[in-house]
Structures are given as structure tokens and as C-alpha cells.
Structure 1
Amino acid sequence: MNKSIILIAFFLLISCNNKDEKTQISVDKTATKISGKELFEGEGNCIACHQPEQKIIGPSIQEIATIYKDKNASIVSFLREESEPIVDPSQYEIMKTNFAITKSMSDEELKALEDYFFSFPK
């Protein structure tokens, strides 16, 4: 009888440890990093007006990145509508329509967009 109780306790202990490991692994696998490129082309709809190397409606990503880097400015602040336009102020009225989208984004999403822009050196 004592051997049975010890054996059952041993198997319960092993099975509990395995569940914790599986839970930890599944949590790690679900962690994702937000892609600035996906936001740019998808939810943000930035691609409708901006291209990597050429101006269409708005300035190119390269131009935006270069000017913001040179001025040590924050694209995130601009997308939150907390700072003035510094690239092409004449296009600011057009960009205003998109602030509803960018203001609803999390800090992490806006930072991902900024990082994506800064990945296009001129």
C-alpha cells in the first residue's frame, strides 16, 4: 500500500512539472514582434501615399527617414500629431486624415513604423 501511494505521488509530481513546461513553451511561441512593414502596408495604409524611393502623394520613405535622422526628430511624435511637419508641410492637410489611424496605434506599433522608416537610408 505504501509503495502504491509513493508511486502515485511520484507520477503526479512528474505530470505537474510537464504541464508547467508545456505552458511556458506555448506562451513563448505566441510572443510576436510587430512588423513596421506590415503596419505600413496594412493597417496604417501608409503605402497608399508613400513609396520607398519616390514621391507619389507624400514624400518617399527615404526622404522622410533622412530628414528625421538629420534633425534628430521623432516620427512617432509626428504620427501622434504632437509635433509639426518637417518634411513637406504643404502636404500636411492630406496627412491629417490618417492621424485617426496612427493615433489609435500603440506605442509599440508606432515605434515599429518609425524603425521601418529608419531602415531606408538614403
Structure 2
Amino acid sequence: MKKIILLAFIITFASCKKEVEDNYGQPKQDETAVAISGKELFEGKGTCTACHLPGQKVIGPSITEIAKIYKEKKGSIVSFLKEESEPIVDPSQYEVMKANFAITKQMSDEELKALEDYIYTFSK
């Protein structure tokens, strides 16, 4: 009887292990965690390419200009996209950009940071 209780305890204890191992002792990666691509967000979900291109002004300033000015002035693109800070690149286009805040405010902080990082790849 004692052996059965001890065996049940060992099985129960072993099954309560928090981290599942896979691939020769390596922790199994969380399948819900997906790397966020700023470029994919910029071109897709964010619909940013409708107004911003890398080397030329379309409706809004170019991505290169945005990156350069935000870097020089140590601004936060994330704060701007959350509508928590004033525009510093082209304030005259702020009213046009307001329509897109509905999209950017629904993005997670990680997505906004990925967008910001992508934009900064255009700074020279």
C-alpha cells in the first residue's frame, strides 16, 4: 500500500512540472508568441503606406524624414501614435493623421514599438 501511495505521489509531482521540454531538453516555445514585424505592420494593419513612403512625401512626410526628425529631437513615435504627444514633423498634416489614430490606438505597445523601430531603420 505504501508503495502505491509513493508511486501516486511521484507521478503527481512529476506531472506538475511547469515548463514543457521539447527537442532534446530545450524548452518548448510558446506557440502564441509571434515576432512582430514593424514592416508588416507598416505596410499592412497600419495602412501607413497610403500616406508615407521611404523617400518621398505623399500625403504625409516620408519615412526617412520622420525617422530623421524624431531621432534629432529625441521624440517618441509611440507616444505620437497613441495621441499622447504633439506632432513634430509636419503639424499641418495632423488633422489628416487623426483618422489613423483609431488604428494605432488599437495596437499593442509591442506593435507600436515594432513600428517605431522599423521607422528608425530609415534614419541616416
TM bucket by the smaller chain? 0.7 to 0.9
Deviations 1:85-109 (A, max 9, x none): 1100110110000000000100000
1:25 paired to 2:28? yes
Alignment of 1:56-67 (within 5 A): 56-67=58-69
CA-to-aligned-CA distance 1:12-46 (integer Å, 9 cap, x gap): 9xxx79xx42394253x653210000000000000
Deviation (angstroms), 1:115? 0.2
Structural mapping, 1:100-111, within 5 Å: 100-111=102-113
Deviations 1:31-77 (A, max 9, x none): 32100000000000001100011101110000000000000000000
Identity %: 70
Distance 2:48 2:40 in 1: 10
Q: What code does the residue aligned with 1:25 have? A: K
Distance 1:38 1:51 in 2: 14
Partner of 2:8: none
| 3-state SS, counterpart of residue 64 of structure 2 | helix
Counterpart Cα distance in 2 of 1:97 and 1:30 = 30
Residue ranges of structure 1 left out of the alignment (5+ in a row): 1-11
Large movers: runs of 4+ above 4 Å: none
Give me the CA root mean square deviation. 2.3
TM-score by length of 1: 0.79
- TM superposition score normalised by structure 2: 0.78
Query: CA separation in 1, counterparts of 2:81 and 2:96?
Result: 13
Q: Unpaired runs of 5+ in structure 2?
A: 1-10
Q: Partners in 2 of 1:44 and 1:89 — Cα distance? A: 20
Matched pairs, number? 109
